[in-house]
Amino acid sequence: MHRDFLQTNLIENPNALASSGCNNLRMAPDPAVRIRAATAGDEAFIVEMARHACIIEDWPLPDSDDAEVLELLPPPGVVPIIAEEIRGDPVGAVWTYFSDPPLRTDANGKPLPELCIGVAPGRRGSGIGGLLMDALLADLAQVCESMCTNVHVRNPAQRLYERKGFRVVGQGHGPLGLAMVKALR
């Protein structure tokens, strides 16, 4: 199960914060928001963002222990990136996970890391999602050739992904899912 996943990640991989590239705080264009690596205290917020990433429009949020939510949670060794208000609460998170079966694989059959991103509903549309994506792409480019994401055909997040260089490559998860891939190098 994914309970206490952040504690597990940090214990199993004590260098995770440094290797995430997020050991130094990065300031956002919005001076009220900064980017940092997740800590164990972010676990509930990350589950909340995974719940939001499961739905589009005003669909009801799934329960925290819904199988779809659990699948999106960061696996051991993955430290999410958090956007937070200075002296405030977290407002967004991004990380990668691996779905089963994988959305896409590389030429050697190795699963590509899959994007999961969420911004708190009241804070969307002000650049936080783009900022989180930039931080994740910079980190992943050091270790991966490419990554992928699944997006519902009606999810406006597709525009953000295209702006960041993802391209639709075919069918995603389910009949209304699109698979998108981004080359990182």
159 lies in the binding site for ligand COA (CB under 6 A): yes
Nearest approach, Cβ of 119 to ligand COA (angstroms)? 4
| Binding characters for ligand COA, 40-69, by CB under 6 A (x = yes) | ------------xx----------------
Does the footprint of ligand COA cover residue 117 (CB under 6 A)? yes
Q: Tokens 């994506």 sit at which residue? A: 133
Interface with ligand COA includes 129 (CB under 6 A)? Answer: yes
Could you tell me which of 149, 145, 152 has the C-alpha nearest to residue 169?
149
For the bound state, the minimum distance from the C-beta of residue 15 to ligand COA, rounded and expressed in Å, comes to: 28
Q: Which residues contact 78 (CB under 8 A, 6 or more apart)?
A: 9, 95, 96, 97
The answer to whether the CB of 30 falls within 8 A of the CB of 128 is: yes
Distance CA 157, CA 5 (A): 26
Tokens of 47: 């589950």
118 makes contact with ligand COA (CB under 6 A): yes
Query: Can you tell me which of 155, 166, 172, 178 binds ligand COA, judged by CB under 6 A?
Result: 155
Cβ proximity to ligand COA: between 13 and 173 the closer is 173
Of residues 22, 35, 38, 128, which one binds ligand COA by CB under 6 A? 128
User: What are the C-alpha distances in Å from 35 to residues 47, 76, 146?
Assistant: 18, 21, 23
Coarse DSSP helix, strand, coil percentages of the chain, rounded to the nearest 5 percent:
30, 25, 45
Residue 70 Cβ, how far from ligand COA at the closest point, in Å? 16
Where does this chain bind ligand COA (CB under 6 A)? 52-53, 117-119, 124-130, 151, 155-157, 159-160
